[in-house]
Amino acid sequence: MQLKIMMPKKKHLSAGRAPLILFLCQMISALEVPLDLVQPPTITQQSPKDYIIDPRENIVIQCEAKGKPPPSFSWTRNGTHFDIDKDPLVTMKSGSGTLTVNIMSEGKAETYEGVYQCTARNERGAAISNNIVIRPSRSPLWTKEKLERITLRNGQSLVLPCRPPVGLPPPIIFWMDNSFQRLPQSERVSQGLNGDLYFSNVLPEDTREDYICYARFNHTQTIQQKQPISVKVISVDELNDTIAANLSDTEFYGAKSHRERPPTFLTPEGNASRKEELRGNVLSLECIAEGLPTPIIYWIKEDGTLPINRTFYRNFKKTLQIVQVTEADSGNYQCIAKNALGAIHHIISVTVKAAPYWIIAPQNLVLSPGEDGTLICRANGNPKPRISWLLNGVLIEIAPDDPSRKIDGDTIIFSNVQERSSAVYQCNASNEYGYLLANAFVNVLAEPPRIFTSADTLYQVIANRPALLDCAFFGSPLPTIEWFKGAKGSALREDIYVLHENGTLEIPVAQKDSTGTYTCVARNKLGMAKNDIHLEIKDPTRIIKQPEYAVVQRGSTVSFECIVKHDHTLIPTVTWLKDHGELPSDRRFTVDKDHLVVADVSDDDGGTYTCVANTTLDSVSASAVLSVVDVPNPPFDLELTDQLDRSVQLSWTPGDDNNSPITKFIIEYEDAMHEPGLWHHQTEVPGAQTTAQLKLSPYVNYSFRVMAVNSLGRSLPSEASEQYLTKAAEPDKNPTAVEGLGSEPDNLVITWKPLNGFESNGPGLQYKVSWRQKDGDDEWTSMVVAGVSKYIVSGTPTFVPYLIKVQALNDAGFAPEPAVVLGHSGEDLPMVAPGNVHVNVVNSTLAEVHWDPVPLKSIRGHLQGYRIYYWKAQSSSTRNRRHIEKKILTFQGSKTHGMLPGLEPFSHYTLNVRVVNGKGEGPASPDRVFNTPEGVPSAPSSLKIVNPTLDSLTLEWEPPSHPNGILTEYTLKYQPINSTHELGPLVDLKIPANKTRWTLKNLNFSTRYKFYFYAQTVAGSGSQITEEAITTMDEAMASRQVDIATQGWFIGLMCAVALLILILLIVCFIRRNKGGKYPVKEKEDAHADPEIQPMKEDDGTFGEYRLFSFVSSASF
């Protein structure tokens, strides 16, 4: 493949068969004239245009240049020749134009102030430096001044002037105290751009003797300070005392110490102002307002938006900064100051001017005799800069004529140049805000091509990345460049190559088949040069297992994995970084081949961990974040502002959230006066909020603390805020839970829940207790008590309704009128028993009782209900009397009937009824007796089979433990069970009730029988008991069975039967899987007695429910 440079722009290879030839334009920016060839001077280094020096050190003014032959140097100072040889303090560096002024031994820096310019000259031309303005830095002292103490009222605004001395460069201003501690600044107090300290409103804590403004001069590393300013902020009370002591008949200030007012601007003044800034600088706009509450500042741009990435707010949004300002940033900017009482605005008109800046700077031009070329000098600015040309440091208008040169504004056109046309041209672009100066030489040479890139250079490139093969060249006329690949120079037919103006060959995406030898050939009319370049393509380095994001608790261990795959000819090095820096020097961090392990993780270990795999050709990295989570750190810097009688604003600074966002803040308060050391919940605010308006109660010595909460829990409490004591006031509320209940028949006990100290609102807390009968015409009777929560009124009628109220009062006055509560004087025992008590027996276990209510007046208290006492006094079956513990059922309210459940059948019961109030029970009604009918018996207590024979079995049993009546007979049912567990016919047998033993005869030998046995009364059959037994076997039959079992034919038959059963089981299993049914349930059901059904009471209520011997409460 062959490539040739012929055009000024880089081009891709065509897809045709012919070699692609590219021509490089005659732009010399890519060409560097070798220093062994004749060339005009070029300035390589110079001091800055505005050069501020330290007057305590030697002055060094730099001027370095190159050229062939080596240039000589000269200087001008303030526009005239500077004769260095005549000044013993000035020396010039050998082979250089750099000057050193030795003022450390003698002399003053001020002597050498001025404008300096360096000229580097040889036979081909002269290059000049910028005008270098030398000025020594200055750090003058503050003028002595006597500063009077500033006294002002709480809430007023204040400006403390700084007015630093004029220095060079301007000093950095800051405010500190005598202890060299920076004064705290906030939305209320801040430093302006001019260095003054502004107070939107003052507070008593602003009182101090040492407001000191400092000016730091960086060039001389010195700090100057102003005389301390003393400020005294007095409260309204202090001010009135002062007025009263010194003046008469004067108007006192009101009691309100904070005179709230809308905002006004402290700076800038008026409604509008103007600001001019230069392009590329930082635009700083400032608005500082005073007012109470403290105003907040907002910024907008009229008819436009603020640039997002270049806009910054400083000084609590009082300063708006736009960096790298451009002409598009011109316009009107509006600052708005706002508080709760109003808002004002100020418009700043901004104009952006521009010192000259390059659009096209002139470049060195190398031409061969007879060639053409151009120099272009194009600049912009606001206002538009003026372009002027110089030749070898002299205005071109007065320089010797050159027929090959033509000037056309910002362009010089050269045609048919000769060696005498070599020179250095200077372009100057200037306006009122500055200037630009550029040197560009025209060097006329005739040189054959030469290649500077080392022969047989080996390039190693990672696959799928660009490959850049250098071919640095020079020649005049400008050579053409051709590239070949391979020894035979085969033409390339794919469009994958790009040739740059400087001769570099680019393969945009190098592949394995790009490996090989490439040849660069440079040609002009004076000769040819070539060079071989070798290219190798390597596999890229990859991280095939990357570290992963981790969230860990303190004290745990975390491991990051990093597995690297690389080209086998390259040796990678794996490095771990933390937050883009080295890992901490700590034994807890261990690195092996593929892992980084961090043990005993602490908060400081959180951050970004990066695995970096480096080879000589490439570098890859992968990062993972380690979050060490914990509960937040406590908030700090608690501050109380806007302190009013019933509210205060609390602000705080959040602590570190420890990588888990704060969701809310919990505010607690302590009442140091009434409950010192006890903290109470005040309120909660969202996690994004750092201020809270708190409602306060009177006469409380408040302290506040704040806790932060995140997903892991709550922080430790902050340090307590300063204390704030609110003024006393009358109580806001009255006692709660007021009740009137008598403890004796002739008294009324009035109780209430007293106010706590926090609710008292002031000293001298007392209670006014008032009462009167509800149904009478008596006036209220009142008593004032203190320190108690109960008052007893004696000599009252029994159980009379009273109206009651309890009102709180303190030294400041009474609470609001309290609510009236209904109460009653003391109760006494009821006087009358319920009458007309009768019983209706529902069934053998349930009875219903009815009674007439007693008159309300005879209850003498709050009716709580009726209570039934009942007991079982006699068994009807035995007729024997014995004592039974009484049982009790209570029926709430005014019920006149109730159900007695859980009674025992066939029993004799007695009961009576009593009315119940808060004092106790009244007299009992006359006893009423009733009998419960017979019920079904329980199951026989036991059943066992004894004395089995070949054809008989004997049964023995115990009667039911609860016959629940007179037993009439027993029923015995039995049936045989064969070897396949199938049940035979059921036999039913009746047995007299007086029997406890029975023998069954004529049974089959060696047969299992199942028995079902239960007792009966006239009410029906009771629960059954079951048992199984087997009759004995005949000895001869047993012998025959043994003999058969030992016969071969019998054994064969049994095997056949077993095989048949196995086949049947398999068939059944298949049928079951296909949805068939297997009759196991039917066989199980066959074991049960089909004639026996569950026994229930006729009405199905309460069953065998029993009452225990304790007092219970029920309502039916």
pLDDT at 884: 61
pLDDT at 1053: 86
Residue 32's pLDDT band (cuts 50, 70, 90): confident
Cβ distance 30 to 366 under 8 Å? no
pLDDT at 126: 96
Residue 1099's pLDDT band (cuts 50, 70, 90): very low
Whether residue 1041 is predicted with pLDDT greater than 90 in this model: the reply is no
Residue 218's pLDDT band (cuts 50, 70, 90): confident
pLDDT at 490: 62
pLDDT at 1084: 40
Residues 6+ apart with CB under 8 A from 337: 263, 264, 265, 287, 289, 291, 295, 296, 297, 343, 344, 345
The model carries a pTM of: 0.54
Burial letters 716-728, b for 16+ CB under 10 A, else e: ebbebbeebebeb
Whether residue 1105 is predicted with pLDDT greater than 60 in this model: the reply is no
The 3-state DSSP composition of the chain as helix, strand, coil percent (nearest 5) reads 10, 45, 45
pLDDT at 912: 95
Helices (DSSP H) in 843-913: which residue ranges?
A: 856-859
Establish how many alpha carbons lie within 13 A of residue 140's alpha carbon, considering only the half-sphere containing its beta carbon. Answer: 10
Whether residue 803 is predicted with pLDDT greater than 70 in this model: the reply is yes
Using the structure block, give the residue that is written with the tokens 């004087």: 825
Long-range own/partner contacts, residues 1079-1087 (CB < 8 A, 24 or more apart) = 1083/981, 1083/982, 1086/982, 1086/983, 1087/977, 1087/981, 1087/983, 1087/1010
Using one digit for the tens of pLDDT, what is the confidence trace for 852-879?
999 989 999 999 999 999 998 755 444 4
Q: What are phi and psi of 773, to 5 degrees?
A: -70, 140
pLDDT above 70 covers a percentage of the chain that reads 88
Using one digit for the tens of pLDDT, what is the confidence trace for 240-261?
555 555 544 433 333 344 579 9
Whether residue 1114 is predicted with pLDDT greater than 60 in this model: the reply is no
663: nearest Cα among 722, 697, 606, 714:
714
Tokens of 815: 């609470």
User: How many other CB atoms are there within 10 angstroms of residue 1085's CB atom?
Assistant: 11
Tokens of 866: 């009726």
The mean pLDDT of 119-131, rounded to a whole number, is 96
**CA Rg value for the chain:** 57
More confident residue, 86 or 1088: 86
The mean pLDDT of 901-924, rounded to a whole number, is 93
- In 445-599, beta strands by DSSP E: 447-451, 457-462, 467-469, 473-476, 480-485, 498-499, 505-507, 516-524, 527-538, 542-545, 550-553, 558-561, 563-565, 573-578, 581-582, 589-591, 595-598
pLDDT above 90 covers a percentage of the chain that reads 73
Residue 498's pLDDT band (cuts 50, 70, 90): confident
CA angle 583, 589, 594 (to 5 degrees): 90
Q: Report the C-alpha gap between 67 and 52 in whole angstroms.
A: 30
211: nearest Cα among 188, 184, 243, 236:
184
The mean pLDDT of 902-917, rounded to a whole number, is 93
Establish how many alpha carbons lie within 13 A of residue 723's alpha carbon, considering only the half-sphere containing its beta carbon. Answer: 9
Cβ distance 42 to 125 under 8 Å? no
More confident residue, 487 or 1082: 487
Bridge partners of 391? 394, 425
Whether residue 1113 is predicted with pLDDT greater than 50 in this model: the reply is no
pLDDT at 1055: 87
The single-letter code of the amino acid at 1052 is G
Strands 790-794, 747-753: pairing is antiparallel
Report CA dihedral (48, 50, 52, 58) to the nearest 10 degrees.
Answer: 50
Q: How far, CA to CA in Å, does 663 sit from each of 554, 721, 789? A: 21, 22, 42
pLDDT at 1047: 64
Whether residue 385 is predicted with pLDDT greater than 60 in this model: the reply is yes
The single-letter code of the amino acid at 408 is D
pLDDT at 1050: 76
Dihedral of alpha carbons 407, 412, 415, 420, sign: positive
Q: Report the C-alpha gap between 237 and 256 in whole angstroms.
A: 10
pLDDT at 775: 87
Cβ distance 152 to 257 under 8 Å? no
Q: What are phi and psi of 514, to 5 degrees?
A: -80, -10
pLDDT at 21: 30
Q: Report the C-alpha gap between 750 and 247 in whole angstroms.
A: 58
Farthest-apart Cα atoms in the chain, separation: 161
